[in-house]
Homo-oligomer: A and B are copies of this chain.
Amino acid sequence: MSDAAPFSSVAIVGLGLIGSSVARGVRRYMPGVRIAAYDADPAVRDTARRLGLADNIPDTAAEAVADAALVILCVPVGAMGAAARDLAGALAPHALVTDVGGSKESVLAALRAALPDALIVPGHPVAGTEHSGPEAGFATLFRGRWCILTPDEGTPDAPVAALRAFWEALGANVELMTPRHHDRVLAVTSHVPHLIAYAIVGTASDLEQVTESEVIKFSAGGFRDFTRIAASDPVMWRDVFLNNREAVLEILQRLTEDVTMLQRAIRWGDGDALFDLFTRTRAIRRSIIAEGQDDAAVDFGRRHDDSA
């Protein structure tokens, strides 16, 4: 075990993009830490064994977590309760249970119901790509990204500090907040943007006067930026919306009001209202680049060389 590693053994339940990236990250940045892993899908377990993602990939979740100091649930948020129920009675004494789900109030409730005596500190690494599955993960996925932990007020400091150190070892910056605030922040920065991206790609493919082939051909005009996030994992996102319902509906309502205002400005030719908003939003983009949360490379660094 590495001197720096906050946990001597880790069990990862769910080996999709995030779970497999955690496994690869632990291997690279916390060498010596023992990794056990499990996925409910036997084919995924086979792939994970072939990729050598963990030291031990047994055929039950209970076996995977038996010796683990840290258990990380990396399944869609709608599957958290069932995944946690599989662990009941199998956890090591003093094991810390965490997760990576995109909604936190609902996940905390589900984990607590399934594991009433366990020490639980929910977490959410704000990172991902449009790809899914055990082969899509990579060790550096969390580097420079934020990981939000949402411990209860009553949680002792030591496990929270250890979990913070774990995510920092994977390269993430860590921030603490309440589950409720997390759900609101993520509704804005992630959930509603995804919902709108899904909607606009759906709307475009349903039009009678414009063919799908035209939409695809001319997507460089802006549309293609939406398609990337509308290509994210369908099960994961269905669950996020169903589990962060209240905050998503609230932000969506605000957005609808703002779109209606822009619609009216276009209809009535109010160029000043449009110009003012468009100038303000440009400044926010600059801040995101300044804070290192995106790349300043032109056009997301898409290739424009002669071979393109």
Contact = CB atoms under 8 A, between A and B. Distances in A.
Interface of A: 78, 102, 126-131, 136, 138, 140-141, 143-146, 148, 175, 181, 184-186, 188-207, 209-210, 212, 214-232, 234-235, 237-239, 241-242, 245, 248-249, 251-252, 254-256, 258-259, 262-263, 266-267, 269, 271, 274-275, 277-282, 284-288, 291, 293-295, 298-306, 308
A146 B198 contact: no
Interface secondary structure of A, over-half rule? helix
B301 A300 contact: yes
B131 A285 contact: no
Kindly report how many copies of this chain are found in the complex they form together: 2
Given A215-B189, A266-B248, A294 B288 contact: no
Given A148-B218, A175-B217, A282-B231, A294 B224 contact: yes
Given A254-B203, A255-B199, A305-B140, A285 B186 contact: no
Contact of A299 (B129, B202, B225): B129
Contact of A230 (B131, B207, B284): B284
